[in-house]
Amino acid sequence: MRLIRHCGELTREHRGCAVALGNFDGVHLGHQAVIRAAGAVARAQNLPFAVMTFEPHPRAFFAPHQEPFRLTPFRVKARLIEAMGVDLCFMQHFDQAFASQTAGEFVEDLLLGCLNVRHVVTGHDYVFGRGRQGTTEFLQAEGAAKGFGVTIVPAALCADGEPYSSTRVRECLLGSKPDHAARLLGHYWEVEGRVEHGDARGRQLGFPTANLRLGEYQRPDTGVYAVRAGIDAGGGTRWLNGVANFGRRPTFDKTDELFEVHLLDAKEDLYGRHLRVALIEHLRPERKFDGLDALRAQIAADVAQARACLARRSFPADPGPMVPAAEDFS
């Protein structure tokens, strides 16, 4: 996949594309329906298959001091989009100048002038342009007048009849239900980052951990999780079983948030390395223990529970971003 940040980076082979438009935070199953629809048009008409999304997220631009909410920061979102076979991902920079564009300018300058689109695909609720004045009806009228096709994808519905949404995914994560979030996403929700040095408490307890800061990620509920940990390995990712704690470590009277991952069957130095962590199941809430012996005993029980949880599931050697299949959520 070619990643483009400026119109000047586009080559002739990528212009004249079928493009899916959206923020796509989470790249959940509803987002995937929109992207796949663009892919179907691209294949049918022999066009480049493109996605246009926006960084920073418009919500972060308009309200920069709010609590972290991103399900898929830039790097993760790009990886998920690439896994869908997209040829070109255009990451449009969202700043004041772009936010001030009218809907008509968006069509003329970006869709036609920059991408020279042949077909545009959006979700049914997509809006764009200054004051959110650009609607799907406006886009269809522009397409009819200016010679590009438009497909509006209706809301994709979950088994309960409700539409897939990033908001519902966040609610699942906050409600200790990463398995439910995975049903909405079509893939396990991951966090990733560079492993930091900590205070070595885990090592002292006999359960060394790799420590991550969540940065702009949506915070899941605090507590202990069964996880899959992906370690960079020469251009690929090596996946291992693990158990993780997210919280403030009340036993040690800490107040800062930390995501700590213990690998179940590997002992290696991860400091400074890039780590992906997929949340599989929430095992228990975080709580304060009366001393290190009680904490050590509970961690041993957590490890055993995580092993049992992960043994019930089938993971391929390299699960990638789009796993597991639906039957693995039993």
pLDDT tens digit string along 216-239? Answer: 999 999 999 999 999 887 777 888
Whole domain around residue 132: which residue ranges?
2-153
pLDDT at 252: 64
pLDDT at 250: 64
| pTM, rounded to two decimals | 0.90
- The whole-angstrom separation of Cα 71 and Cα 217 is 6
Beta bridge partners of 242: 227, 263
Let me know whether 201 and 148 are in one domain: no
Let me know whether 9 and 144 are in one domain: yes
Domain boundary among 132, 153, 174: 153
pLDDT in tens, 61-77: 888 888 999 999 999 99
Distances in Å between the Cα of 278 and the Cα atoms of 57, 228, 263, 307 are: 22, 5, 13, 15
Q: Count the neighbouring beta carbons within 10 Å of the beta carbon of residue 19.
A: 27
Let me know whether 9 and 123 are in one domain: yes
Domain count, the chain: 2
The residues near 119 (Cβ < 8 Å, ≥ 6 apart) are 17, 18, 19, 38, 41, 42, 45, 47, 148, 149, 150, 151
Let me know whether 16 and 147 are in one domain: yes
Note whether residue 159 is domain-resident. Answer: no
Let me know whether 122 and 212 are in one domain: no
Let me know whether 77 and 200 are in one domain: no
Note whether residue 169 is domain-resident. Answer: no
Mean pLDDT, 10 residues at a time, over the chain (330 residues)? Answer: 92 93 96 97 97 93 90 93 94 94 96 97 96 95 98 92 94 96 92 81 72 94 95 82 87 77 86 91 91 88 96 72 41
Which CATH number fits the domain that encloses residue 260? 2.40.30.30
Catalytic residue (choose from 142, 190, 260, 281):
260
Domain boundary among 153, 176, 206: 153
pLDDT at 198: 65
**Backbone φ, ψ for residue 142 (5° rounding):** -65, -40
Let me know whether 238 and 144 are in one domain: no
Note whether residue 303 is domain-resident. Answer: yes
260 is known as an active-site residue: yes
Beta bridge partners of 20: 51, 121
pLDDT at 324: 42
Q: Count the neighbouring beta carbons within 10 Å of the beta carbon of residue 186.
A: 21
Which CATH number fits the domain that encloses residue 92? 3.40.50.620
- The whole-angstrom separation of Cα 87 and Cα 81 is 10
Let me know whether 280 and 218 are in one domain: yes
- The whole-angstrom separation of Cα 313 and Cα 328 is 6
Note whether residue 163 is domain-resident. Answer: no
- The whole-angstrom separation of Cα 35 and Cα 33 is 6
